[in-house]
Structure 1
C-alpha cells in the first residue's frame, strides 16, 4: 500500500519577526505570502488558488477605495463584487483594516483558514511595536471582520460551492482525448471551472482560442511533428532549459515514487508565483499600501479570469497530453522532465495566465520594469532576473515545452488567448479611469 508523505517546504522558516518593518506598506507582501503558505498546505489547485487570492484582495481593495477618493471602487467595474456598506464606524485606520482584511478573508474562505489566526496575532504585535494603540487596531479589526464576512458571503454565490454537486467528469473515449497520467493517475482537476462567475471578462467563453491541431497518428501530420518535437526536446535538454522548466514548474502537488513508497511534494501554484512577483514589484516600486493593494487585487482578478477562460477550453477540447501519445507510439519508457498535471492539455495554463497577468502588470507598472524574482528560493532554486513582466511570461510559457507537458500550439495559442484577456482587462481599466501607478 502506497504511503503518501506530504512535505510542506519551509512553512515555518519565514519568521514574521524578520519581515515586519516600521512602515505599513511593508506588511502587504507578508500578508499575501501568509495566504500563499496556507494554500500550499491545503494543496489548493491552480484555478481555485486564483479565486482565493482574488477574494482575499478584494475586501482590502474596497476598504482602501472607500477611504481614498483617488482609487476607484472595484464595485463600479467588477460586477461580481457587490457594494459593501461599512457599519463598524468611521473613525478607523483604513490601511490597517485593509491589511488585516486580507488575512481575515483568507481565514473565512480557505479550507485551513484558521492557520491565519497566528499571522493575525503577529500582525497585531508588530503594529503595537510600531506605536499603534490597541484601540486603533481594534477599530480597524472590527471593520475588516465586517467587510471580510460580507465578501465571503458574496464569494459563496459565484458557483464554487456547487462544484462538488456536479456530475463527475469522465474522460472522453478515443486516442485523441485526455486520459489520467502517471504516476498518480489523478482524475481531471476542476472540470466545471468554467461555471465560476468571472471578475472582469464577460464570460468563460469570451476568449475561445484557435482550435488545436487535429490529432493524427500519421507520421507526416502536423500533430505527429509536434509530438516528436516534445519528445526530442525532452531527450536533448540543455542545463539552461532544464532550469527554466523546473523554475516555472509550479505544480501544487508532485508525486515522486520509490518502490512502494510515494512522496508528495507541495509547491506554489502558477498564480501564487505571479502574486509573489506582484509583491516583489510593488515593493521595488515603493508603492504605498493603497497602491500596492490595488495592484495585487487587479493582478489576482486577472489571474482568476484567465484560469476561467483557459479551463473552459481545456475541457472543451480535452486534448491528450504528450506523455500519453509518446509512450503509446514513440517510446514506451519516455518520461517528461516535469510531472504531467492532472487535466487536459490545450491550452497551456501557464501560457494563458502568465501572459494575461503580465499585460495587467505592464500597464500598471511599466513596460520595462525589471525585477529579481526570489519566489522559488524556498524550493531550493536560485533567484532569477527578468527585464520585464512580459519577459517572465514568455519564459513561463516556453518552459512547458522544455518540461515535456505541452505541445507548441498549446503554448503559442495559449499566449494569444492570454494576451487577448489581458488587453481586454487593460482597456476596461483605462475606460474606468484606472491609471498606471508609476
Structure 2
C-alpha cells in the first residue's frame, strides 16, 4: 500500500511540473531565408525575379504570424494590393513558429526553379527541432499548416503575370546612338524587358514613381550628357583603393563573365535584393527581435524591394538609355573599360540606387535611424565585413558605388535616389495607415 502511495505522489509531482518552455525560433529565421538565397545564386536568378521570390517565400510566414498574434503583427491583407485572405486551419498541437519557418522553405521549394534543393534544408530543420524538444505531433501538424499556407501563396503568385513573361515578344535592342545595346564581354540579351507588367504588392502601379527625364543624349562635347560620360571616364581612371573596394562590395551582379583568350568563366554572386535581405536578417538578429517582429520586418523589406524593382525596371525600358561603357568607347576612349561588368539592361535609373534607398527608408521607419551594424554579406564572395552607421549610410554608399564601378552616370544615381525615397515614403505611409507601427527592441 505504501508503495502504491509513493508512486501516486510521484505521479502527482510530475503532473504538477510545468511543461518546459521551448525557445523563441528567431535565430532560425536567418538560415531559412539564406537557404533560399543560396538556391537563387545557384539558379542565377536575376535581380527583379529574386525580389519577387523573397516576397512570396516570406508572405506565408508573415500571415501565419499575423493570424497567431493579430495584436502584434498586422496581416498583409491590410496593406498589400488585392490581397485575398489566407485561410489557416490551426490544429491543436501545431506550433506557429515552426509552421512559419517551414513555410518559407516550402514556398521556396515550390516557386524556385531548383526549389527541390530546399528539401534537404527542410529535413535538417525538422531534425534540429526534434532534438530541441518539439514533439512529433507538434512538428507534423506545423508542417501541415505550412504546406496549406504555401499552396495559397502560390495561388497568389500565379496571378501576378510572372508566368506570362515568356509569352511576350522577344526584346530587340534599338540600333542607334542613344539607346542601350548589349555590352562585352558576354553581350547578354536584355534582362526582363517586360517586368513592368508584374503586379506590385504595395505601390499602385509600375509608373507611379516615374522619375524626371534623364539628360538628353548628345555627342557634343559641350553638352550635359557628354560631361556626365566624361565624369564616369575620369572617376574610374583615378579610383582610390577605397572607392575601388566600395564598387566591388556592392557589385551584386548575379552572373559576371570573365574572359581569358577564347575561354569564358562565369561567377555567380548575390543579387542587390539578396544583399539587402541579408542586411535585414543581420540587424533583426542584432536587435534580438522576437520571431514575430523579425518575420514582419523581413516580409515588408522583401515587398519593398519587389515593388522598387518593378518601378525602376519600368523606367529602364522606357528611357532605354545607353550605358557609359558603350558611349565612352564610341566617343571618348575606344579601349576604356569600367571596373565592374556592365549589367545587361538599360542604364536609367540606377537600380541599386532606387532599391537601396527605398528599403533603407522603410527599415529606418520600422527599426530606427542610427542603427550601426556590421555587414558580412560579401564574406561568402571573399570580401571582408563592412561597418555602417545606419541603413541610409549603406544605401548612399550602394548608390555611389555605381559611379565608381563605371556602370552609371551621376544623374541616374541621384534621380534614382529620389525615386527610391518616394517609393519608401509611400510604403511607410501605407504601413502607418494599416496600423504597422515602428518596432522597438522592447516591444510595440
TM-score (norm 1): 0.94
How many Å apart are 1:265 and its aligned residue? 0.3
1:24 Cα deviation from its structure 2 partner: 1.0
Tell me how far 1:134 sits from its aligned partner.
1.2
Report the equivalent of 1:173: 175
Q: Where do residues 385-404 of structure 1 align in structure 2 (5 Å cutoff)?
A: 385-404=387-406
Q: Is 2:26 the counterpart of 1:64?
A: no
Contact 2:57 2:103 in 1 (8 A): yes
Counterpart residue number, 1:139: 141
Distance in 1 between residues matched to 2:179 and 2:288, nearest whole Å: 48
Paired residue for 2:187?
A: 185
- Alignment counterpart, residue 79 of structure 2, candidates 67, 77, 81: 77
Query: Retained in 2: the 8 A contact 1:46–1:252?
Result: yes
Q: Is the 2:317–2:346 contact (alpha carbons within 8 Å) kept by the matching residues of 1?
A: yes
Shift of 1:23: 4.4
Q: Would you say the 8 A contact 1:88–1:146 is kept in 2?
A: no
The separation in 2 between residues aligned to 1:196 and 1:32, in whole angstroms, is 23
The Cα of 1:88 is off from its aligned counterpart by 5.7
Deviation at 1:75, TM superposition (A): 1.3
Q: Is the 8 A contact 2:361 2:392 kept in 1?
A: yes
Output one character per residue of 1:68-115: Cα deviation in whole Å (capped at 9) or x when no partner: 022111012202432111236354111110011000000000000000
Q: Show the 5 A alignment for 1:33-432.
A: 33-70=34-71, 71-87=73-89, 89=91, 91-432=93-434
Tell me the number of residue pairs that the alignment of Structure 1 and Structure 2 aligns: 418
The answer to whether the 8 Å contact 1:107/1:114 transfers is yes
CA distance in 2, matches of 1:435, 1:102: 24
Counterpart CA distance in 2 for 1:176 and 1:230 is 17
Deviations 1:287-325, CA, capped at 9 Å, x for gaps: 111000000000000000000000000000000000000
Q: Which structure: larger Rg? A: 2
Task: Note the alpha carbon deviations across 1:141-198, whole angstroms, 9 max, x for none.
Answer: 0000010011111101100000000011111232100000001101110000000000
Q: Residue in 2 aligned with 1:26? A: 27
Q: Check conservation: 1:217, 1:224, Cα contact below 8 A.
A: yes
Gaps of 5+ in 2: 1-21
SS of the equivalent of 2:259 reads: strand
1:436 corresponding residue in structure 2:
438
Contact 1:234 1:402 in 2 (8 A): yes
Over 3 Å counting, the alpha-carbon distance change for 1:80 and 1:126 in structure 2 is farther
RMSD: 1.0
Unaligned stretches of 5+ in structure 1? 1-20
Aligned residues of 1:57 and 1:297 also touching (Cα < 8 A):
yes
The TM-score, its normalising length taken from structure 2, stands at: 0.93
Q: Alpha-carbon deviations, 1:45-90, whole Å to 9, x = none?
A: 0000000000000000000011002211101220243211123635
1:3 matched to which residue of 2? Answer: none
| Conservation of the 8 A alpha-carbon contact between 2:94 and 2:137 | no
Question: In 2, distance between residues paired with 1:22 and 1:157?
Answer: 37
Distance change in 2, residues 1:80/1:376 (3 Å): farther
2:14 aligns with none
Distance 1:272 1:80 in 2: 26
Report the Cα distance in structure 2 between the residues aligned to 1:248 and 1:203, rounded to whole angstroms: 28
